[in-house]
Amino acid sequence: MNSPTIINIILSVVLAVAGYLLLPVMAANLDPSLALAIGLLLGGILVPIIGSQFSGTSSVAQQADEENSKTLYVGNLPYRANEQAVQQHFELQGQVHSVRLMKDRRTGKRKGYGFVEMTAAGAEKAIQNLNDSEFQERTLKVRMAKDKVEE
């Protein structure tokens, strides 16, 4: 689950419990189950409004993070290398956001290349330090990935 969904769930529960506890106190003859229903109804109305406030700021932060990240092409990877090993190797250069190792669709075996998404500064450092370096007895080829051509 993403964080805006979790926030919405937490807010719904808090408002439902608040309605269950506070409404009977405010209106002495109100049934507690009715108070819970009113709390849920208020939660259903208020949570999307409040949640949109949180998700708006996180999308701005996410967009800024994407602008500051670069994708690297990594070639000549060992076929036995997995995402975790590649991530650990590249994290020595900077923060890694994701690692995708390409596989043959038919056989499921790795193709020996992949893509590492990391911070822009880390990407530059990785190109300088890891291109033509040894990784699990193979000489890596590291360069900026070309933009994906959409059809």
pLDDT digits (tens, 9 = 90+) for 98-140: 999 999 999 999 999 999 999 999 999 999 999 999 999 999 9
Q: Mean pLDDT of all residues in the chain? A: 80
Q: Which of 98, 105, 69 is nearest to 83 (CA)?
A: 98
Per-residue pLDDT at 17 = 72
Answer whether residue 57 shows pLDDT above 90: no
Six-digit token string for 94: 């900077």
- 68-144: CATH topology is Alpha-Beta Plaits (3.30.70)
The 10s digit of each residue's pLDDT in 60-104 is: 555 555 568 999 999 999 999 999 999 999 999 999 999 999 999
How far is Cα of residue 75 from the mean position of the Cα atoms in its chain? 25
Distances (CA, A) of 24 to 32, 34, 36, 100, 120: 6, 9, 10, 55, 56
* Cα separation, 82 vs 28, whole angstroms: 63
Six-digit token string for 58: 């996180």
Delimit the domains of the chain by residue range. 3-66, 68-144
